[in-house]
Chain A
């Protein structure tokens, strides 16, 4: 099975610049990009892939409960994340590690979540975390949160004023499997009804664990939102330029008060769903080979090399990636285990008698073992 060519593409599989038919309206965003931005895209993708490998290894070594890799989906994520503005809000699913990194979170927050030392990971209200909201594991639920957040932005009059520094958009990430959940469909109803500044960013990586996207939809998924009155576009999610330009345009539209839109990024999950998964049970070799040949990082590397990027640049990125991964490994091994406080604190925002009593009971009980339990 091969996937039909996506609607918007700027880079051919070999990295040559070859805008697809229908990509014209996005071209200005590409033309405005500088060499530094190109290099940044590459750096983002290469560093996160190295990070993913490190985390998978750490999981294999018993240092994490689980790891969900983003291998193969880097261009979709980097392009869309780099298209956001400082004031925008991001509602991720659980695989958007590089989006979090670009928005400024310390990726140790994700590591802690997946290692199993916390249920949270980072403070969304801390400005240095770039309005990157918490990871969501119950599929699709975040699409409604993003829509409600957008309703609030509308009510606050923070769209369509023409002020580029305050008009605000929301982008929400979800997968092809999740599109079947009621919440995602209800989110589209609300987004359309209230004309929220929400960009629905679907990463169609062709699989929901072992279930192919064909089980979720008989038509390309980007057609579904149209029935809800939400304009949509399909993009080659393995082309970082296309992902960037399409996201930038639709985020602009959202900030300008034009309401919601929907982007389907065609991509592929190279490898396992998570470290708990065994894709050899269901993955199709031919399809895998098709997508490996469309690797987003190799494609962009070819593009940069054609443009004359130096060997020194690539060596520098490789070094940065290695250093980044080494730092993550070091800090993962140093992470303390949670304590009784983690268990009982913040269940409610005000004291609660049952919690207070149980916390005291457990502290007492643990102490009765003389600290050797």
Chain B
């Protein structure tokens, strides 16, 4: 078994190269992704290897990037678009929600839209406005889009390839605060399918569920809780649309308590959706109301105050305490 230690950013890079090697219809497009290798260096060296017909340093226009990706997909290509930062996806929102998401349906099955949109997202990087957002709910709310977010280098490596293989459009959220820490990547086999959630730590007293950078934080919370005799199960969502509920419901059946954790603001969020579904489907297993730990419902603030805005390990544990108190 070939296992390599890679940071998440490099794992995506390796996954992109693999997909491009396997299928010459795969191409990359975005701002600064070629010569510079992207502002996070996720695509570093790929243009040098595959050339400028496979790696496009596009003009500076997000609607242009996604709109032309749609045209390329109609022509048989499998474009992987990079949006430079979470907060800069909105000029492309029209193309994503009114066209990309709907062409398959409009074509009554005659059209596929194998487009991947990579979006570095989330906070904890001390950056100025528009560079630390978690906009996944907008996309999950749109029928026709698949939405995923890897939390580990291994998942990043496999999920980017699986997303490229998908005939549906995939919004691929990359947790930027997790770009740099290394983790093992199994280069031989994928551990789970693209849309499976994953039990990241087993426990018995309460369940934590979340995605992206929040997974690391939930695992830290579980570690701390364990030192105080509380056993937390941690589930990494991996896929935001669709959501793989089986492991979540199974876990809740066992623990009776659920705390949903997310970096996004809580109002009309992915966490709200999970809370509602679990309340509907596992009502008799629940021993406490489902609790959401989210950012506050205010604009992502200036970085010198991001720590107050964002959920942290303490806020997760405070919610766990509230759940256990029922």
Q: Is the CB of A116 within 8 A of B298?
A: no
- How far apart are the CA atoms of A276 and B130 in the complex, in Å? 15
- How far apart are the CA atoms of A215 and B57 in the complex, in Å? 8
- How far apart are the CA atoms of A319 and B83 in the complex, in Å? 44
**B residues in contact with A344, CB < 8 Å:** 296, 298
**B residues in contact with A373, CB < 8 Å:** 314
The chain B residue with its CB closest to the CB of A278 is B36
- Interface residue from A113, A208, A210 paired with B35 (Cβ < 8 Å): A210
**A residues in contact with B87, CB < 8 Å:** 137-138
Tell me if B309 counts as interface (CB < 8 A to partner A): yes
Among B124-145, those with CB < 8 Å from A are: 126-130
**B residues in contact with A277, CB < 8 Å:** 39
**A residues in contact with B127, CB < 8 Å:** 65-66, 116
- How far apart are the CA atoms of A178 and B308 in the complex, in Å? 33
Number of A-B pairs whose CB atoms are under 8 Å? 114
Given the known interface contacts A181-B61, A209-B39, A210-B35, the answer about A116 and B299 at a Cβ–Cβ threshold of 8 Å is: no
- How far apart are the CA atoms of A208 and B62 in the complex, in Å? 14
Q: Is the CB of A181 within 8 A of B91?
A: yes
- Interface residue from B58, B128, B299, B302 paired with A347 (Cβ < 8 Å): B299
In the assembled complex, the CB of B185 is this many whole angstroms from the nearest CB of chain A, namely 26
**Digit string of A191-222 for contact with B (CB within 8 Å is 1, else 0)?**
00000000000000000111100011000000
**Digit string of A175-194 for contact with B (CB within 8 Å is 1, else 0)?**
00110111100000000000
The chain B residue with its CB closest to the CB of A141 is B91
The B contact surface, by secondary structure, is loop
The chain B residue with its CB closest to the CB of A215 is B59
- How far apart are the CA atoms of A281 and B64 in the complex, in Å? 25
**Digit string of B286-308 for contact with A (CB within 8 Å is 1, else 0)?**
00000000001111011111001
Q: Is the CB of B59 within 8 A of A180?
A: yes
Tell me if B318 counts as interface (CB < 8 A to partner A): yes
In the assembled complex, the CB of B69 is this many whole angstroms from the nearest CB of chain A, namely 16
Q: Is the CB of B304 within 8 A of A115?
A: yes
- Stretch in A47-55, A70-78, A150-158, A334-342 touching the partner: A334-342
Q: Is the CB of A343 within 8 A of B296?
A: yes
Tell me if B31 counts as interface (CB < 8 A to partner A): yes
**Digit string of B309-322 for contact with A (CB within 8 Å is 1, else 0)?**
10000110010000
Given the known interface contacts A66-B127, A354-B297, the answer about A116 and B302 at a Cβ–Cβ threshold of 8 Å is: yes
- How far apart are the CA atoms of A275 and B188 in the complex, in Å? 39
Tell me if B1 counts as interface (CB < 8 A to partner A): no
Q: Is the CB of A138 within 8 A of B88?
A: yes
- How far apart are the CA atoms of A11 and B130 in the complex, in Å? 40
In the assembled complex, the CB of B141 is this many whole angstroms from the nearest CB of chain A, namely 19
Tell me if B267 counts as interface (CB < 8 A to partner A): yes
Q: Is the CB of A182 within 8 A of B91?
A: yes
Tell me if B90 counts as interface (CB < 8 A to partner A): yes
Q: Is the CB of A209 within 8 A of B31?
A: yes
- How far apart are the CA atoms of A249 and B63 in the complex, in Å? 35
**B residues in contact with A210, CB < 8 Å:** 32, 35-36, 57
In the assembled complex, the CB of A363 is this many whole angstroms from the nearest CB of chain B, namely 10
**B residues in contact with A138, CB < 8 Å:** 87-88, 90-91, 130
In the assembled complex, the CB of B165 is this many whole angstroms from the nearest CB of chain A, namely 29
**Digit string of A272-300 for contact with B (CB within 8 Å is 1, else 0)?**
00001100011000000000000000000
Interface size on B, residues (CB 8 A): 38
Given the known interface contacts A210-B32, A282-B36, the answer about A137 and B91 at a Cβ–Cβ threshold of 8 Å is: no
Q: Is the CB of B91 within 8 A of A354?
A: no
Q: Is the CB of B60 within 8 A of A211?
A: yes
Q: Is the CB of A119 within 8 A of B36?
A: no
Q: Is the CB of A362 within 8 A of B130?
A: no
The chain A residue with its CB closest to the CB of B94 is A182
Tell me if A87 counts as interface (CB < 8 A to partner B): no
In the assembled complex, the CB of B209 is this many whole angstroms from the nearest CB of chain A, namely 22
In the assembled complex, the CB of A371 is this many whole angstroms from the nearest CB of chain B, namely 14
**A residues in contact with B31, CB < 8 Å:** 208-209, 211
The CB with the most chain A CB atoms within 10 A, among B32, B37, B39, is that of B32
Tell me if A304 counts as interface (CB < 8 A to partner B): no
- Interface residue from B36, B39, B64, B128 paired with A113 (Cβ < 8 Å): B128
Given the known interface contacts A138-B87, A343-B308, A354-B267, the answer about A65 and B303 at a Cβ–Cβ threshold of 8 Å is: yes
- How far apart are the CA atoms of A338 and B307 in the complex, in Å? 11
**B residues in contact with A343, CB < 8 Å:** 296, 298, 301, 305, 308-309
Q: Is the CB of B59 within 8 A of A118?
A: no
Q: Is the CB of A216 within 8 A of B60?
A: yes
- How far apart are the CA atoms of A304 and B176 in the complex, in Å? 50
- How far apart are the CA atoms of A281 and B33 in the complex, in Å? 12
Given the known interface contacts A113-B128, A137-B130, A138-B90, the answer about A342 and B301 at a Cβ–Cβ threshold of 8 Å is: yes
- How far apart are the CA atoms of A365 and B314 in the complex, in Å? 10
Tell me if A58 counts as interface (CB < 8 A to partner B): no
5 nearest A-B pairs in the assembled complex, by CB-CB distance: A116-B303, A210-B36, A177-B60, A180-B59, A338-B305
Q: Enumerate 14 A-B pairs (CB-CB under 8 Å) in ascending A order.
A: A119-B299, A137-B129, A180-B60, A180-B61, A182-B91, A211-B31, A215-B58, A215-B59, A338-B305, A343-B298, A347-B297, A354-B267, A358-B297, A373-B314
Contacts A178-B60, A343-B305 supplied; 15 other A-B pairs, CB < 8 Å: A116-B303, A137-B130, A138-B90, A181-B60, A210-B36, A210-B57, A211-B59, A281-B37, A338-B305, A342-B302, A343-B296, A343-B308, A344-B296, A355-B298, A362-B308
